[in-house]
Amino acid sequence: MKEIHVKQITESVKKMFIDANYFLGDDVKGCIKVCASCEKNELAKQIFDIIGKNIDIAEKGVFPLCQDTGMACIFMEIGQDVHFTGGNLYEAVNEGVRQGCLEGYLRQSIVRDPFDRVNTGDSTPADINVEIVSGDRVKILVAPKGFGSENMSQIKMLSPAEGVNGAEDFIVDVVRQAGGNPCPPVVVGVGIGGNFSKAALMAKKALFRPIGVHNSQRFYEDMEKRLLDKINLLGIGPQGLGGKTTALAVNIISEPTHIAGMPVAVNINCHVSRHKEAIL
């Protein structure tokens, strides 16, 4: 049995929440550079140049990449041989987000109730998802999720008879409807299977996968590549102003589902597809 004090969780979450908001991952930066070099549209080239300067300014000046520093979305894979000491795990995670928000001077973006709209003042509570796995390690994934892109997400309970073509048509149409609202070029997370709630969760988790890493199943790898081509043919382009780069990646996660259903969820990320990972 491995013991982990919850203070380690708090410190890790705090650092990742701050770093994710200030420093864009190499996978995203690399993909943006490649896509920028392939653009023919002059306005798209200008937008990519501005995006590159923004990334550089954020890194050198230690500023947030975007004014929307997001809702803290956290996935934890906890080894069944781990024992937490010193307090409540969920409280420790939220304390890390709180400290990260205040010490990192990040925008306070969470309201306590959807209708009274009173700000909690520290970007808590976080969206926390826990999975128990084998072993004695804890893997923590942190993604600040801005709502310009989150608001463009959709889920549809398709009939199994609609098949691959029906699923792909829906996914592409979600991006078409989103247009320039999610600050493209976007990363498209897709969850297929499970049930209503599981599909949405898979779509969110798919956004954590590094750009350039495909689904391990050849069928879904091919589907990801095919969807990326279809989405980039929409011509929405960087910031919705035209061009060949509407999406940087399409990431799919699938799960078994019921014989009568085929849930498909789409969760979109903006071009600052922020995510950090730590293993304790």
Render pLDDT for 51-97 as a digit per residue (tens, 0 to 9): 999 999 999 988 899 999 999 999 999 999 999 999 999 999 999 99
Q: What is the pLDDT of residues 189-219, one digit of tens each?
A: 999 999 999 999 999 999 999 999 999 999 9
Give the per-residue pLDDT at 57: 95
- Contact assessment for residue 83 and residue 6, using Cβ atoms and an 8 Å cutoff: no
Q: What is the pLDDT of residues 18-45, one digit of tens each?
A: 999 999 999 999 999 999 999 989 999 9
Q: What are phi and psi of 144, to 5 degrees?
A: -75, 120
The confidence band for 149, taking pLDDT boundaries of 50, 70 and 90, is very high
Give the per-residue pLDDT at 42: 92
Spell out the residues 6+ positions from residue 237 whose beta carbon is closer than 8 angstroms to its own. Answer: 41, 43, 44, 47, 184, 185, 243, 244, 245, 246
CA 48 to chain centre: 20
Q: Which amino acid is at 116?
A: D
Distance separating alpha carbons of residues 138 and 61, to the nearest angstrom: 32
Q: Identify the residue whose tokens are 């864009």.
A: 24
Answer whether residue 237 shows pLDDT above 90: yes
- Sketch the domain layout of the chain as residue ranges: 2-21+65-145, 148-273
Give the per-residue pLDDT at 100: 97
250-260 average pLDDT score: 98
Q: What is the pLDDT of residues 84-124, one digit of tens each?
A: 999 999 999 999 999 999 999 999 999 999 999 999 999 99
Q: What is the pLDDT of residues 3-21, one digit of tens each?
A: 999 999 999 999 999 999 9
